[in-house]
Structure formats: structure tokens, C-alpha cells
Chains A and B, each alone.
Chain A
Amino acid sequence: MRGWEREKKTTMNRTLTAIAALLGLSVAPALAQNYPTKSVTMIVPFAAGGPTDIIARIVNEHMSRVLGQQIVVENVAGAGGTTGITRAAGATPDGYTIMMGHMGTHGAAPALYPNLRYNPATDFAPVGLAAGTPILIVARKNLPPKDLKEFITWAKAQGEKANHAYAGVASVSHITGVLLNSVLGIKPTMIPYTGTGPALNDMISGQVDYMTDQIVNVVAQIQGGNIKAYAIALPERSPALPDVPTTKELGLDYQVSAWNAIFAPKGTPPEAVNKLADALDKALDDQKTKDRLLELGGVVPDKAGRTPAALQKLVETELARWTPVLKGAAGNDKK
């Protein structure tokens, strides 16, 4: 389908929704009170098996129990997650289509995709933050620097000679890697991969020097001694890797975690959003769900951090944070 056709269709959908909203004012609240009466589709904008997908499935299991209806994951991958979110944003806002957005789709995407068809701050009804996964700075095991301090000196001295791997435009490793380089004021040679797997493979065999990525992707390789970790970008050490110092301890202004959060399309009845937010809150209080998330090295938000209002604020802060950093990064030279 060509772009303009799609836009025309969306406009038409919006008009229809508006008319329906006008006519159905008295009916809608009654329907929303019984919500949910059928299964809910959650669009996960990444392939099944990735960190966001795993977090979605873990959280959904308990949320489904609270709601009394199954939440079914639909993976719609593509274009750094924006394909799935674009589709979800255009879905009927009845609470039966929701999505798992993340720092890329709802924070960095507008800076990386100038033709983005949604606005993360205004086109959604935020439900709540699900879980974050901390970011680690990792390097091939025989890279000379022994700790973060030495690494910073090394990276600055190497300049373009350093090889920085990342898992493709708009991936978490790309966004957080660009941030690290901008914090350190370095310009290494960036080597693109099609995913974390191939990038790690080349790091283990010593082809590339360093990268940043989510703990769940790299923890086993660090524990197995295939690669080494310089720091974790969290305020406190992770129980999964107690020996890895935090960037805060080391005095580096680099605090970042890949957050994942549930959104509904704009116009979803507040009753439905509240029920979803409540189910999410209960899921994150559930010990089994919590344990599973912690096993992944995930960070579970506190009570105050889970509310729709807190998520809206997070999106706005993240948009403000990434836009200047990612200007000029790969992907941004699109017309």
C-alpha cells in the first residue's frame, strides 16, 4: 500500500471513530465497564524471543489472570519496532489492542525516523512501565584496558581506530552506544550488525572492540569469560553481575536502561486503561512474575513509577533526551 493511501485510510478511520464516538456516547461507558469481554491483543514490535518480547510474555501471564481474559502477543517486527507501533497506533481504541513500546519506539524513534507516522507523546494512552533492562559497556576479552577509567583513556587515544559494534540502526545497542560516545566525546568507527547475536559473535572472536547492550543479551557471555564488562549503567549493582561496577560509582554520567512499557492507542476509554494499569500493577507485585523479571537482570519499577501519568512523563523526558544526542547519528541523514 502506498503512503498516501495509508494516510487516507487512517484519516477515514479517524473520522469514523469520531462519528462513532459522537453517536455512541451513552453506550461506550457501559461497554468499558465490562471490559474485557474478549481476549486482548498486545502488539510486540519485535521478533519473538527478544528481550522486549520476553518481558511482554512474562508480564502478560499474570495480567491475563487479573483481567480474566487472555492477552495474546502478536509480533509485528520491522524498522526498529516502528512498523508494529504504527499499526497499533492506528488500531480501534477499544482497549482490545494494546502494545509494548520501548525506549526506541517511544523515545529515540522521532530522531531516527523523520517520516515517523506517530507522535510518542500525543498519539497514545499510556498504561504503565513494565520493566527495564540495564545497559552494560562490554568489550572483547583481550582489549588492553582493565577497567572503565583505562577504557576511557584508551578510547580517546584510539579515536577512529576503535571498533564499536552495534546491532543496526535504532536498536538499543545503537541508541545507547551513540549516547556513550557522545558522553565520552569520542568518534570511533561504528560497525553495523543485523542483531546482537552476530555482533557478539564477532566480539568473542576479537573482530570488534566494544559495544553497549542490554544485560540479558550479554550476561551469559560475561559470566563465561568470553567478553568482559567495564560498567553497568545503573545507580546500583545488579545482583546478576555483582562484580561489575556501576557507572555512578565510577563517576561517569551515563545512566541508561532499556525500558519497556505498555501503551494503548489514543482514545482508549479511561476505564479500560485503568483496568490494564491495575492489572500491570498487580502483575509487578506478584512474586513469581517479579522473580522471573529479576532473573533476566531486569529492573522492576516502584509503585509510583508504574502509573500512566509517570509513563507519560517518562516518554516526554526521553524524547527530550534522545533528540539532541541522535542528531547526526547514522539513520538521521535520511531526507
Chain B
Amino acid sequence: MDLVTNLTHGFGVALSLQNLGLCFVGCMVGTLIGVLPGVGPVATIAMLLPITFGLPPVGALIMLAGIYYGAQYGGSTTAILVNIPGEATSVVTTLDGHQMAKQGRAGIALGVAAIGSFFAGCVATVFIAALAQPLTKLAQLFGPAEYFSLMVMGLVFSTVLARGSIFKAILMVLLGLLLATVGTDLETGQERMTLGIQQLSDGIDFAPLAMGIFGFSEIVKNLENPEARDVVRNKIGRLLPGWEDIKQCVMPVLRGTFIGGLLGILPGSGAVLGPFASYAVEKKVAKDPSRFGKGAIEGVAGPESANNAGAQTSFIPLLTLGIPPNAVMALMVGAMTIHGIIPGPQVMTKNPDLFWGMIASMWIGNLMLVIINLPMVGMWVKLLKVPYRMMFPAIGIFCCIGIYSINNSSEDVLFTAFFGFVGYVLLKFGFEPAPMLLGFVLGKLMEEKLRQALILSRGSFSTFIERPVSLGLLIMAVLILLLALMPSFSKQREEVFTE
């Protein structure tokens, strides 16, 4: 069989001592930057680009890829331990993951995240090897109209994310959408709501917003109430998930892998939707949805698997078409180009070493990540024992360094401080940041795609219902919304709220 020969060839390439070493270095660096809040894979890969000059192209790309999925892996650690999502994809993990940490189940949350990610990574790798070509065609079905409808569906998930009042959640989504419109108008180049601040001319960055609204406001909240923090310190509990926990996670991991892998293929923010969608599904199918937001293990297992599956499948458009679906992949294109390989549809036939070697290295990388991460769970959990008066300055400093390194801009650090203040005020009034971040992430793409679709249809809104895929997505969005508004469901929600 072709697939077997190709994969054997790939493993032959990836298992060479040098490539194995580079894969390990990539995974290690990725895990570290994932754990350091703010320092994202984009900044790291950009910094490491010159170093890869001296390496053979396959090895260089194996290492850079390792950094990317390693960071996705590590990002969940901060989300769980200190409630700071390093990446848009780990926002959802804060919801139940950090709650679990507060209940002394941090080790279990980290363990489940690692195991779920490993499983998802393995499945997604096989997925890429076997189905990369046909899946590319699936992504091609998505024009601007389909994307817009997909984003609409994504917004509906926000109602499920809310732990408290659904009304407040919707307000926060709208705020997120509004924040996403700050910046230069796509078509006219006009600056919108930038208040004459030059740094805002390209819009608000995700990192300062997320870091401020989650990280900084969390620090202020904890400082205000030191006893709450001590609870986390004193209750450590068991380190690794037990058999019961794992049994509970099997289905969420399977569903998360499927959802995340599928959405990951779509260029743009497809991969971001994965964890949100998975969380929404888990909450829907759960016997007792009220557990979510209070440390439900499924709420960690599903989204974490979705997140990692998406990180792997987002390589598909790059490897089969040469089109980068996100900023990290754009950097990978740059790295390939610097090495004289111009990514495109022929990479598979012209550079089989690169194509199959990278796919094989992803599987090896995932195995390495589990080996690196599981023993570290104990260490991370012990970190919670460090007195908070020593923890919070460190978290604050790492956040600032990370934010600064993204654009080499000190203004971004000031923005983070500002958003931290806003986040604290919102927290005090019982508004939740997660729906806002979802609105923000989807908003930019939504506006862009809406305008492209409407320009292409010459202003006719019927384009969204005339195109079958788009229509299907919109129908699904309506169904989810109806389900969310069903009386039994809202009753449960109120119970949660009044608690």
C-alpha cells in the first residue's frame, strides 16, 4: 500500500539521529514557550529562523513544527494553573481546568490534557497521512459566504460558554465583536476607533487583550482575596488521573479529536473554533451540564484534544497547497522559502522527504511531548505551593516580557495593563471574559468574510442561503440557539446563576 510505503519512508527520515534530536529540541522549546504566558510560537519561530539557516531544510522544519505543536501542548498548563490562556485555543481550558486546579485536581487536569492531546495528535497525524489530499478539497468548498456562516455558528457557542447570566454573556460577545472592529478598515484603509493611537491602526492584538483580561485581572483578584489562593495551595490531591477519570474522558477525547481535526483544516480561525465547539458539545451531551464551569473533567479533555488535533491538521493546507492558514504557518512558509523550497502543491512529489518526514515527525513529537510532560505534571503542581506573594510578580514579569516580544512594542505592555484593569472591573460586575474573547477572535474574520461575500454577490444577502454549505451552517446555528433557549436548559442555567 502506498500509504504504508510513504509512512515508512517518512519514519526513515524522521528517525535519523539528527532529526530526532531536532524534533526533541523543538518540542522542548515549544513546551517551554507554551508555559511562559505571552511568549507565543510566532515570536519564537521568528527569533529562531536565522538559526535554522545552517540546518538541512527537513530538520529545520521538523524543529519549527515541534515548537508549534509543543506550544499548543504547553499553553494548557498556564491556562489550568494560573488561569492565563497562552493562545486563543486554550481560552476554553481556563473554564474548567482552572476550577479543577482550585479544587486540588490540577494534576489530574494536566494529566488528562496531556493524554487527550497525545491521542488527538496521533489520530490527526494518521488523518493527515491518509486524507490530506481529499481534505484539501473540503477546505476549498469554503468561500467567504461559508466562512461567515461558520463564524455565526461559532458565536452561538458563546451562549453555552457562559457560566452565569446568558444575557451578560451575549453582552460580552457584542463587546468582543466591537473590539474586533478597531483598526484599519479592510477596504478603504480608513482608521476606525483608533483614537489617533498609531499602535491601534492594525487593531487590538489578541495577546495583550487575553493576557490583560484573564491574567492581570486574575492576579488582582487573587491579591484582593489571599485566603482563596491558599485553598489552591493546600489542596493538591492525587497527581495523575485515575482509571475513573480516564473512563470519563474517553468519549470527550474522541469527539474533541474529530471536531478539532475537522475545523483545523479550514484556513483562518478554523482551528480556534475547535475547542469552543468541543466544549459546547460536551456541555450539551452531559447528563448534568451544571457541572461545567465548576471543574468538569470533560470540559478539559474535549477541548484539549480538539486544540491539539486542530494544531496538527492545520498543517494540511500548508503541506498540500502551500497556503498558510495562520500566522505560524506563514512563518513556516518563510522558513521553507529561505531553504529554497517554495511551498506549493508539488511539495509532496518534489520533496517527499520533507512531506512524509514531517508527518512522521509529528507522531514522534507527540510521543515525546507526553514523555516530557507527564513527569513534569508533579513539578507544575508543586509550583502551586509557592507562596502567592512570590508567584504573582513572576507571572506579571513573564507576561510583560511575552507581550513585549510579540511586536517589540512597549505600548502593547501598557495595553495589557489597561485591559487588566478593565478585566478586573468586569469581573467585579460578574461579566465573564471567555465569551468576549470568542466574539473578538471571530469578529475580525467575520467582518472580513461578510464584506468579501457581499462584494462578490454585489450586495445581495441571499448569497448566504443560496449556497448549500453556508445554508447548512446557518441552520445548525439556529438549531443550537433553539436548544440553548429551551426552557429546561435555561432553568438549569438560572440555578447555576443564583447559586
Spell out A's residues near B (CB within 8 Å): 1-3, 6, 47-50, 53-54, 57-58, 61, 73-79, 83, 86, 112-113, 163, 168-170, 189-195, 197-198, 200-202, 204-205, 207-208, 216, 219-221, 223-226, 292, 295-296, 330-334
> B144 an interface residue at 8 Å Cβ cutoff?
yes
A169 touches B330 (CB 8 A): no
In the bound complex, residues from chain B placing their C-beta under 8 Å from that of A54 are: 334, 337-338
B327 touches A47 (CB 8 A): yes
Q: Which residue of A lies closest to B346 (CB)?
A: A224
B187 touches A330 (CB 8 A): yes
> B411 an interface residue at 8 Å Cβ cutoff?
yes
**Of A2, A3, A49, A225, the contact of B333 (CB 8 Å cutoff):** A49
A58 touches B189 (CB 8 A): no
B53 touches A61 (CB 8 A): yes
> B12 an interface residue at 8 Å Cβ cutoff?
no
Cα A223 to Cα B349 in complex, Å, equals 13
In the bound complex, residues from chain B placing their C-beta under 8 Å from that of A83 are: 198, 201-202
Cα A79 to Cα B143 in complex, Å, equals 26
B267 touches A201 (CB 8 A): yes
Cα A225 to Cα B324 in complex, Å, equals 18
Min C-beta distance of B340 to chain A, whole Å: 5
Between A76, A219, A225, A334, the greatest number of chain B beta carbons within 10 A of the residue's beta carbon is seen for: A334
Cα A192 to Cα B186 in complex, Å, equals 6
Q: Which residue of A lies closest to B345 (CB)?
A: A224
Q: Which residue of B lies closest to A169 (CB)?
A: B189
A1 touches B331 (CB 8 A): no
Min C-beta distance of A135 to chain B, whole Å: 16
A57 touches B49 (CB 8 A): yes
> B247 an interface residue at 8 Å Cβ cutoff?
no
> B344 an interface residue at 8 Å Cβ cutoff?
yes
A295 touches B330 (CB 8 A): no
In the bound complex, residues from chain A placing their C-beta under 8 Å from that of B327 are: 47
In the complex, 10 of the A-B residue pairs with CB atoms within 8 angstroms, ordered by the A residue number, are: A47-B331, A49-B49, A54-B334, A197-B325, A201-B323, A204-B321, A205-B142, A219-B342, A224-B345, A331-B188
A74 touches B344 (CB 8 A): no
Q: Which residue of B lies closest to A208 (CB)?
A: B456
B330 touches A50 (CB 8 A): yes
In the bound complex, residues from chain A placing their C-beta under 8 Å from that of B268 are: 198
In the bound complex, residues from chain A placing their C-beta under 8 Å from that of B408 are: 74-76
**Of A2, A75, A200, the contact of B323 (CB 8 Å cutoff):** A200
A334 touches B140 (CB 8 A): no
Min C-beta distance of A87 to chain B, whole Å: 9
- What band does the interface of chain B fall in when counting residues whose beta carbon is under 8 Å from A? 35 or more
Min C-beta distance of A204 to chain B, whole Å: 7
In the bound complex, residues from chain A placing their C-beta under 8 Å from that of B189 are: 112-113, 169-170, 330-332, 334
Min C-beta distance of A187 to chain B, whole Å: 14
Q: Which 6 A-B pairs have the closest CB atoms?
A: A220-B344, A49-B334, A331-B189, A224-B345, A169-B189, A48-B46
In the bound complex, residues from chain B placing their C-beta under 8 Å from that of A202 are: 143-144, 452
Min C-beta distance of A297 to chain B, whole Å: 9
Min C-beta distance of B410 to chain A, whole Å: 10
B46 touches A197 (CB 8 A): no
- The 0/1 profile, CB within 8 Å of A marked 1, for residues 250-266 of chain B is 00000000000000000
B188 touches A3 (CB 8 A): no
> B18 an interface residue at 8 Å Cβ cutoff?
no
> B343 an interface residue at 8 Å Cβ cutoff?
yes
Cα A225 to Cα B340 in complex, Å, equals 20
A189 touches B187 (CB 8 A): no
Min C-beta distance of B182 to chain A, whole Å: 13
> B455 an interface residue at 8 Å Cβ cutoff?
yes
**Of A6, A197, A219, A333, the contact of B330 (CB 8 Å cutoff):** A197
Question: Which residues between 416 and 457 of chain B lie within 8 Å of chain A, taking CB atoms?
Answer: 448, 451-452, 455-456
A48 touches B144 (CB 8 A): no
Cα A48 to Cα B338 in complex, Å, equals 11
Q: Which residue of A lies closest to B325 (CB)?
A: A197
Cα A171 to Cα B411 in complex, Å, equals 25
Cα A197 to Cα B333 in complex, Å, equals 10
Q: Which residue of A lies closest to B49 (CB)?
A: A48
Between B50, B139, B317, B448, the greatest number of chain A beta carbons within 10 A of the residue's beta carbon is seen for: B50
A191 touches B456 (CB 8 A): yes
Min C-beta distance of A166 to chain B, whole Å: 10
In the bound complex, residues from chain B placing their C-beta under 8 Å from that of A61 are: 50, 53
In the bound complex, residues from chain B placing their C-beta under 8 Å from that of A193 are: 448, 452
Min C-beta distance of B224 to chain A, whole Å: 31
A169 touches B144 (CB 8 A): no
Cα A109 to Cα B196 in complex, Å, equals 18
Min C-beta distance of B181 to chain A, whole Å: 14
A207 touches B198 (CB 8 A): no
Cα A189 to Cα B455 in complex, Å, equals 8
In the bound complex, residues from chain A placing their C-beta under 8 Å from that of B139 are: 201
Min C-beta distance of A217 to chain B, whole Å: 9
- The answer to whether residues A53 and B455 also contact, given A169-B184, A200-B323, A205-B141 and a CB cut-off of 8 A, is no
In the bound complex, residues from chain B placing their C-beta under 8 Å from that of A221 are: 321-322, 344-345
Extra contacts, 14 of them, besides A76-B409, A208-B456, A330-B188 (Cβ < 8 A), are A1-B197, A6-B198, A49-B335, A53-B334, A54-B338, A76-B407, A197-B324, A202-B452, A216-B342, A220-B346, A223-B344, A223-B346, A224-B346, A296-B342
Question: Which residues between 311 and 366 of chain B lie within 8 Å of chain A, taking CB atoms?
Answer: 317, 321-325, 327, 330-335, 337-338, 340, 342-347
B143 touches A205 (CB 8 A): yes
- The 0/1 profile, CB within 8 Å of A marked 1, for residues 173-195 of chain B is 00000000000101111110001
In the bound complex, residues from chain A placing their C-beta under 8 Å from that of B42 are: 48
Min C-beta distance of B351 to chain A, whole Å: 11
In the bound complex, residues from chain B placing their C-beta under 8 Å from that of A79 are: 184, 198, 201-202
A296 touches B201 (CB 8 A): no
> B458 an interface residue at 8 Å Cβ cutoff?
yes
Q: Which residue of A lies closest to B337 (CB)?
A: A54
- The 0/1 profile, CB within 8 Å of A marked 1, for residues 132-162 of chain B is 0000000111111000000000000000000
**Of B201, B347, B448, the contact of A78 (CB 8 Å cutoff):** B201
B334 touches A220 (CB 8 A): no
In the bound complex, residues from chain B placing their C-beta under 8 Å from that of A220 are: 322, 342-347
Between A48, A190, A207, the greatest number of chain B beta carbons within 10 A of the residue's beta carbon is seen for: A48
A1 touches B337 (CB 8 A): no
**Of A75, A163, A333, the contact of B188 (CB 8 Å cutoff):** A333
In the bound complex, residues from chain B placing their C-beta under 8 Å from that of A226 are: 321, 344-345
In the bound complex, residues from chain A placing their C-beta under 8 Å from that of B45 are: 48
Min C-beta distance of A96 to chain B, whole Å: 15
In the bound complex, residues from chain B placing their C-beta under 8 Å from that of A224 are: 322, 344-346
In the bound complex, residues from chain A placing their C-beta under 8 Å from that of B50 are: 57, 61, 73
